[in-house]
Amino acid sequence: MRKFFSVVFKLFAGIFIYLISMFAFVKDIASDGGWLVLAIFMVLAIVAMLAGLAVSGFSRWRRDTGIVLLSTAAISAFMLLTIACIFGNDEFLRLMPPDSMAMFSSYWTGGAVMLALAALGWGLLKTAKAPVDSLA
């Protein structure tokens, strides 16, 4: 049961990190209280990740955190590719109001956030220690 709750908390952490990576593509996030929304999602992600790690006893925390960060970056990249393919269709663009994608035009910031998540996740996975076999 502990493993189940650990996975659920880490899943919620991944969802909040995914939302942060998507909000990173929003243009002019400083206006309209966007930084407050990002800060709230960051706190929720950290709390959920710490809860998941605490339930599992912080064993293999680097591996678990690395998996969450790397998979979140991969899912975000897949969703962005999907959105780009949808908005690349002329028929779909005719259904949308003009400049409907102007809000999501901070590509450098969003790309940097996704690369940072992937690099941090990869680094944590690479530095994770193999489990010690207690029967050896």
Residue-wise pLDDT for 62-83, tens only, equals: 999 999 999 999 999 999 899 8
pLDDT at 36: 84
Write the secondary structure of 69-124 as one string of H (helix), E (strand) and C (coil).
Answer: HHHHHHHHHHHHHHHHHHHCCHHHHHHCCCCCCCCCCCHHHHHHHHHHHHHHHHHH
Which pTM value belongs to this model? 0.84
pLDDT in tens, 75-115: 999 998 998 888 888 888 788 887 776 677 778 888 899 99
Using CB atoms within 10 A of its CB, is residue 102 exposed (0-12), middle (13-18) or buried (19+)? exposed
Average of pLDDT values for 8-28? Answer: 91
